[in-house]
């Protein structure tokens, strides 16, 4: 479906994207719920597409919320045979939540994933304090939040500068702890590794350094990972501090990496620029305002149309015998009704399409109730559209 309608690039490009969106170690909030083999953190490949199945996750549905309610503009697809949205009416700031990276002509972007709850807290704060700058927002957004965990070791001043300028990098380390053994011995257990580091490649690198006598402080190590990461490291002597061992490993292997941030994004006018955290969140708020406004206007138009129809049906109930006579005897009942009761075309069509069973007395009460409910909803929508705060 994607290849046929939106993406004329062959199935492998589309399938690779689908696989990545299903990997919980690649996406902070996976958008595809995959069944079958979708690869592993070791770097194993996924199964061929004939062996896997996929559907959207609830998170992905948030990106498509209300897309059928005229919330976004549509444009022709690549061959003009169909339409596609210019932008999704997303109710989550996905570009920050899931992050993205890519290289275009003459420019690149690299945005690490973030915690959605933190982003929502920052957006709530920004709505109340529109002029709040990035350093205030970083009380809520602590920094990147990776699906594979890890610990960010970066001074606060550096984090503030990176998010204010939209460019910079973070040091990300594996998470580890010391486990006491018998006779004063201990071992180190690594439970989280940095983002996008393949575990198998990491273990192979450690083995190579160990065999080349580059890690004389180690007795041995083993990978005991199953669902969770568990790399166990045994020191040569209990007198060596575990911090010294880990500092050496951070220097020699990918147990520590640098993650870059380059928030080069398209703004609402489709102009690329490097933005601060404050600017990106403001763009998202503006996008949501437009989506919600369009959604409410769409609902308002539907309510007005329905109220018009209900008004016509109530007139028909009040003059039921006359309506039936006109339909039975007049050559042009439509023109006659428009003339007699000053009805609109839409109202007369609704009356003429009414079923006989709808002529029960009970139906009249239901129409009056629906009319009352819709007028109350219309009043509420108009009050929301009037107040920017709401």
Q: Which of the residues are catalytic?
A: 51
* CB 368 within 8 Å of CB 314: yes
3-class secondary structure, 323: helix
Tell me how far the alpha carbon of residue 190 is from its chain's centroid. Answer: 31
d(CA 372, CA 84): 37
Mention every residue, 6+ apart, whose C-beta is less than 8 A from residue 179: 186, 187, 188, 189
Tell me how far the alpha carbon of residue 11 is from its chain's centroid. Answer: 24
DSSP assignment string, 24-66: TTT-SS-SEEEES----TT-PPPPPGGG-EEEE-HHHHHHTTT
| CB-based burial label for 169 (10 Å; 0-12, 13-18, 19+) | middle
By residue count, the chain amounts to 390
Pairing of strands 151-152, 107-111: unpaired
| Phi, psi for 185 (deg, rounded to 5) | -75, 165
Nearest Cα to 20, choosing from 90, 92, 96, 100? Answer: 100
d(CA 363, CA 238): 86
Name the token pair of 296: 């409410």
Nearest Cα to 60, choosing from 22, 7, 115? Answer: 22
């Amino acid at each position: 479906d994607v290849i046929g309608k939106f993406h004329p690039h062959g199935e492998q490009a589309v399938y690779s994207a689908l696989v990545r969106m299903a990997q919980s170690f690649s996406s902070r909030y996976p958008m595809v719920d995959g069944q079958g083999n979708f690869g592993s953190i070791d770097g194993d490949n996924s199964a061929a597409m004939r062996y896997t199945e996929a559907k959207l996750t609830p998170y992905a549905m948030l990106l498509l919320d209300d897309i059928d309610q005229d919330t976004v503009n549509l444009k022709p697809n690549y061959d003009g045979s169909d339409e596609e949205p210019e932008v999704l009416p997303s109710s989550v700031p996905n570009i920050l939540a899931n992050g993205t990276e890519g290289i275009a002509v003459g420019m690149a972007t690299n945005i690490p994933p973030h915690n959605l709850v933190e982003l929502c807290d920052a957006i709530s704060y920004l709505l109340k304090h529109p002029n709040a700058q990035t350093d205030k927002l970083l009380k809520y957004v602590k920094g990147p939040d990776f699906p594979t965990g890890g610990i960010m070791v970066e001074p606060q001043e550096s984090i503030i500068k990176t998010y204010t300028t939209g460019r910079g990098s973070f040091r990300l380390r594996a998470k580890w702890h010391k486990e006491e053994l018998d006779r004063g011995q201990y071992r180190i257990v690594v439970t989280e590794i940095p983002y996008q580091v393949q575990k198998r490649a990491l273990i192979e690198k450690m083995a190579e350094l160990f065999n080349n006598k580059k890690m004389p402080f180690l007795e041995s190590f083993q990978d005991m990972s199953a669902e969770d990461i568990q790399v166990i490291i045994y020191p040569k002597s209990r007198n060596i501090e575990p911090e010294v061992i880990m500092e050496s490993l951070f220097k020699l292997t990918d147990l520590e990496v640098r993650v870059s941030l380059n928030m080069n994004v398209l703004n609402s006018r489709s102009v690329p620029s490097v933005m601060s955290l404050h600017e990106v969140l403001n763009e998202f708020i503006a996008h949501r305002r437009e989506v919600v406004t369009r959604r409410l206007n769409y609902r308002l138009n539907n309510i007005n149309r329905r109220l018009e129809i209900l008004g016509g049906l109530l007139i028909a109930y009040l003059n039921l015998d006359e309506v039936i006579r006109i339909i039975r005897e007049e050559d042009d009942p439509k023109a006659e009704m428009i003339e007699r009761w000053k009805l609109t075309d839409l109202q007369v069509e609704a009356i003429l399409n009414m079923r006989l069973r709808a002529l029960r007395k009970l139906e009249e009460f239901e129409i009056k109730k629906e009319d009352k409910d819709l007028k109350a909803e219309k009043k509420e929508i108009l009050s929301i559209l009037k107040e920017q705060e709401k």
